[in-house]
Amino acid sequence: MTNNEIVQKLWNLCNVLRDDGITYHEYVTELTYILFLKMASELDTEKKIGIDNKYTWNELKKLDGIELKKTYQQMLIDLSNKSGSLGIIYRNAQTKIEEPANLKKIFSEIDKIDWYSVDKEDLGDLYEGLLEKNASEKKSGAGQYFTPRVLIDSIVRMTKPEIGERIFDPAGGTFGFIIEADKYLKSKTDNYFTLTAEQYEFQEKEAFSACELVPDTHRLGVMNALLHGIDSNYFIQGDTLSELGKSLKNYDLILSNPPFGTKKGGERATRDDLMHETSNKQLNFMQIIYNSLKKNGKSRAAVIIPDNVLFEGGVGKDIRVDLLNKCNVHTILRLPTGIFYAQGVKTNVLF
């Protein structure tokens, strides 16, 4: 089976849950709890990431009926209390599957999939395919953090990440830019095998960082990163536009697709280090991005922006003047309409 065929098969399992009144978005959330266990089993990383033996895939799939449901419910509670990435993934996790037979059906169908036809390194891509399916089926919600993979790939190839660089996304979503940058660097270094011990340590522990406001999206991102073999220690859940974001600076490369719109109630960013005050989130993110780059003449950024960032007067004009005074605007790439959640918004990539 191809990745696309497996994604479609997994997506079709949503029909099993409709009688439990579960929406598409809830289904993807529910499915990721279960799918992550299977993927950890396929990658043989269950012990490494801290999954108790009684909650491993091979143990859970043996159970049935009420016993499966009770064990699964207890598993969600126990894993949510774990430290590190596992605790983040299952934070506040709960199941909305009321019927034990439906839960068993999902376990059984996932177990039937020919996982050996899927490259172990592609399991993360399989998961991303499910996110993309959710985004295309229901733009509301998913579209706010999903950026098409082909666009991310193109942006990463144009900005050419290098070993030893600190790479950051201030609006991380499911960390697509970070994951693609890591894949790009691995392709250039024989999966990091050609690096020195010091370089390898840096890439594993310090090279990538991101910040994501929405807890559920952050959870999906951490799961996505783990499935791609990326340490998520520097993937923060919080608001880059708050005081938290002031410590996030001095990066070599910033790649991002900040959220569109204004802050609720017209509130302005709460951090006090922005030269130009505005409630427009994109304009605030623009300021943060170019001011968070290292001032060494080598740092660079690529950011997806709507038209208002390029043409808005007032504070928008002031920010563009500040940008041009501090940075070399290399390219503005016009994107086709209809790519993102806000259908009527014309978007660009600013390099």
Please indicate, yes or no, whether residues 72 and 177 belong to a single structural domain of this protein.
no
Q: How far is CA 254 from CA 78, 106, 142, 335, in A?
A: 36, 39, 23, 19
Q: Is residue 142 part of a domain?
A: no
Please indicate, yes or no, whether residues 297 and 156 belong to a single structural domain of this protein.
yes
Please indicate, yes or no, whether residues 218 and 340 belong to a single structural domain of this protein.
yes
Looking at the structure of the chain, the number of domains it has is 2
The pLDDT value given to residue 61: 94
Tokens of 84: 């590190």
Please indicate, yes or no, whether residues 228 and 280 belong to a single structural domain of this protein.
yes
The pLDDT value given to residue 88: 87
- Contact present, 93 and 78 (Cβ < 8 Å): no
Please indicate, yes or no, whether residues 57 and 187 belong to a single structural domain of this protein.
no
How many whole angstroms from its chain centre is CA 337? 23
Q: pLDDT (tens digit, 9 = 90+) per residue, 188-226?
A: 999 999 999 999 999 988 999 999 998 878 887 888 888
Q: Is 106 exposed, middle or buried (0-12, 13-18, 19+ CB in 10 A)?
A: buried
Tokens of 216: 């559920």
Please indicate, yes or no, whether residues 156 and 126 belong to a single structural domain of this protein.
no
Q: Is residue 191 part of a domain?
A: yes
The CA distance from 304 to 230, in Å, is 24
3-state secondary structure of 45: coil
Taking alpha carbons only, the member of 236, 219, 238, 239 closest to residue 227 is 219
Q: Is residue 139 part of a domain?
A: no
Please indicate, yes or no, whether residues 116 and 180 belong to a single structural domain of this protein.
no
Q: pLDDT (tens digit, 9 = 90+) per residue, 69-88?
A: 999 999 999 999 998 888 88
- Contact present, 149 and 183 (Cβ < 8 Å): no
The pLDDT value given to residue 300: 97
Tokens of 188: 């250039």
The CA distance from 40 to 45, in Å, is 5
Please indicate, yes or no, whether residues 56 and 199 belong to a single structural domain of this protein.
no
Tokens of 257: 């697709």
Q: Would you give per-residue pLDDT tens digits along the chain (351 residues)?
A: 677 777 787 777 777 766 667 766 677 778 888 888 988 888 888 888 889 999 999 999 999 999 999 999 999 999 999 988 888 889 888 888 888 988 998 899 888 877 666 665 555 666 667 767 766 665 444 334 468 888 999 999 999 999 999 999 999 988 889 999 999 999 999 999 999 999 999 998 899 999 999 887 888 788 888 878 888 778 999 999 888 888 889 999 999 999 876 655 555 667 878 889 888 889 999 999 999 999 999 999 999 998 889 998 999 999 999 999 999 999 999 998 777 655 667 889 999
Domain boundary among 101, 130, 159: 130
Please indicate, yes or no, whether residues 192 and 284 belong to a single structural domain of this protein.
yes
Orientation of helix 215-227 relative to helix 24-43, angle to 10°: 30
3-state secondary structure of 11: helix
The pLDDT value given to residue 139: 47
How many whole angstroms from its chain centre is CA 219? 8
Q: Position of tokens 């991303």?
A: 128
- Contact present, 102 and 30 (Cβ < 8 Å): no
**Which residues, in sequence order, are CB contacts of 110 under 8 Å at separation 6+?**
10, 13, 34, 35, 38
Q: Is residue 47 part of a domain?
A: yes
The CA distance from 146 to 219, in Å, is 14
Full domain range(s) for residue 332: 147-350
The pLDDT value given to residue 89: 87
- Contact present, 333 and 349 (Cβ < 8 Å): yes
The CA distance from 46 to 60, in Å, is 13
| Strands ordered across the beta sheet of 300-306 | 235-237, 208-212, 167-169, 253-256, 300-306, 347-350, 332-334
- Contact present, 68 and 107 (Cβ < 8 Å): yes
Tokens of 128: 């991303």
Domain boundary among 73, 96, 130: 130
Q: Is residue 135 part of a domain?
A: no
